[in-house]
Amino acid sequence: MAARPPLSSLRRWRSLPKLLTNALLALLSAMCLLVLLPASGLSSSGLPSAGQSGIPAAAAEPVTIRVLMPAPLADAVAAPVAQFNASGAGIALEVIRGPLDTETISDLATGSLLLGEAPFDLLLVDVSWLARYVAAGWFEPLERWFGPEVLAAMEPGARLGNGLDGHLWRMPLTGDTGLLYWRTDLMERPPRDTEELVAISRDLQRRGRVRWGYLWQGRQYEGLSCVMVEVLHGFGARWWNGSTARTELDSPEAVAAARWLAALLQDGVSPPAVASYAENDALQSFAAGDAAFLRNWPYAWREIEKGGGLVKGKVGVTAMVGAPGEQGGGTLGTWGLSLIKGSPHPEEAVAAIRWLTGPVVQRQLAIEQGYAPTWSTLYDDPDLQRRAPLLTVQRQALQHPQLRPPTPAYAQLSDLLARQVNGMLTGQGGPGPTMAAAQRQSLQVLRSLAGPAGDTAGESAGGRPAVDR
């Protein structure tokens, strides 16, 4: 018996080539599984089929409408949804909790939509996804149900980013914009422009009141593009020219904007770590009292006040500032509901949109999470003004909102700009070359999207290439 181990090890030794072949096969098939998912999705993506059975539900049986939302929003609407379901409308609204991160939930939604059978009827859509999703043909137009008068009752910023090609694709639920957070314990009033922001920062840093001046999102991700939208606008530049459907990243103003960002790090106003910060990293650092200013979305205010960090009760919020003489503006980060094409119950789904984007839900979101409402009437409500302290600032910010390029190619443009700017922030190139490279690559992307037919990308209105559909 004792002879077994050596003998079997001999056998194993001799069967090595077989072992290797097997290992290689196993490995290859594992890779295939990875490959299979999008492949199978593509085959049916042109014809999204209904998620539920096509048989109309009996009157007694409530129709189930599913909506995918980021988890915090899903949690915030839980009570109004229960209210809606109990109202006897014959609709059972089910909220699917998605990931928090905007890009991650977009990936999740894209994956479902590609597979053709999205397990939801409604999708809460970030303004930056809209052009791409519309181009992919995943949405049903909403103008049948919502006339122009509906959007007219909203704040100017909230009206943007919902329509494309003469259709309405989305009903806005929140009117969020990028905001500037400042420390009320360190200064009398917020800065009026970028120069003041830097001056106050350096003064406070010099006097040892605070370690850093300004925290923002410099990581290589879409959040950096949001920062860029604001900075570019603040310096009189623009990323996207809607009338030519081209980027203008190499303009002198754009380079000046980039130079200002780079100088923030070089002069020590912002920490080098900003180049690795996403929203939450910057928020955590600011909440710990590391800095005088923070660029973030409205939800950050609730986080700071809830969290009980060092700066709780010492934080003010203002609209994003621009360079002296320029009008500042925050990046529009609105969320809205879109109807998935092929939903078996569009009428019921639209009823759900009506309720979810209605004043009751928006009020609740403003109070509980600090999300900006879209309806003008809500901003005039004194009770809400009292319970949602950011309301005035948010309304002010919605008067000068900045849209990210409303093109289906936004994901590419954002990816390459974030990559280039992050390179500049980590010392791999000056502002001039950085922006020139970003512009060159952007034009390449737009050209490649125009296809072999030629450089027609710029010609179609609204920034969307003309496609026969």
Partner 1 sequence: MNTAIGAGLELRQLCREVGGRRLLDRLDLAVAPGECLALLGPSGCGKSTTLRLVAGLDPASAGQVLLDGQDLGALSPGERQVAMVFQSYALYPHLSVEGNLELGLKVRGVAGAERQRRLGAVLEMLQLEELRQRRPAQLSGGQRQRVALARALLRQPRIMLLDEPMSNLDAQLREELRPELRRLLCGREQPVIYVTHDQQEAVGMADRIALLDAGRLQQVGSPRELYADPANRFVACFLGRPAINLLAIAPGRQLGLRPEHLHLAEDGPLAARLLRREWWGHQQLLWLDSRWGPLRVLCDPEVTLPTEPRLGWQRQHELWFDPLSGARLHGQGPVW
Partner 2 sequence: MKARAASLLLMAPALLLLAAVFVYPLLRYGWLSFQASSVLTGLEPVPNGGANWGRLLDDARFWTDAFQTLRFAVCSVALELAGGLGLALLLHRPLRGRGTLRALTLLPWALPTTVMALGWRWILNDPHGPLNAAIRSLGGSSYGFLSTPATTWFFVVLADVWKTLPFVALLLLAGLQTIPEDLEEALRLEGAGRLQILRRLTLPLLVPYLTLALLFRLAQALGVFDLIQVLSGGGPAGSTESLALYAYLNAMRFLDFGYAATVMLATFLLLLVLLGGGWLLWRRERAA
Selection from partner 1, partner 2, none that 148 binds (CB < 5 to 8 A by kind) is none
Which of partner 2, partner 1, none does 31 bind, CB closer than 5 to 8 A by kind? partner 2
Options 153-161, 215-223, 357-365, 386-394: segment touching partner 2 (CB under 8 A): 215-223
- Alpha-carbon dihedral sign for residues 187, 371, 260, 430: positive
What's the residue count for the chain? 469
436 near partner 2, rule: CB under 8 A: no
Q: Which does 46 bind (CB under 5 to 8 A by kind): partner 1, partner 2, none?
A: partner 2
CB of 30 to partner 2, least distance (A): 8
Comparing C-alpha atoms, which of 297, 373, 335 is closest to residue 127?
Answer: 335
153 binds partner 2, rule: CB under 8 A:
no
* Contacts of partner 2 in 246-305 (CB under 8 A): 271-276, 281, 284-285, 288, 290
Partner whose footprint covers residue 98, from partner 1, partner 2, none (CB < 5 to 8 Å by kind): none
Work out whether 465 is an interface residue with partner 2 (CB under 8 A).
yes
Q: From the CB of 8, what's the least distance to partner 1, in Å?
A: 10
Would you say 277 or 371 has its CB closer to partner 2? Answer: 277
| Residues within window 95-134 making contact with partner 2, judged by CB under 8 A | 103, 106-107, 110-111, 132
137 binds partner 2 (CB under 8 A): yes
Out of partner 2, partner 1, none, what residue 448 binds, judged by CB under 5 to 8 A for its kind, is: partner 2
Please report, as residue ranges, which positions from 440 to 459 form the binding site for partner 2 (by CB under 8 A): 448-452
Report the residue number, 288 or 461, with the smaller CB distance to partner 2: 288
Q: How far is the CB of 14 from partner 1 (least distance, A)?
A: 6
Q: Which does 103 bind (CB under 5 to 8 A by kind): partner 2, partner 1, none?
A: partner 2
117 closest CA partner among 180, 169, 66, 78: 66
Q: Which of residues 44-83 bind partner 2 (CB under 8 A)?
A: 45-46
For the chain, the farthest-separated pair of C-alpha atoms sits apart, in whole angstroms, at 91
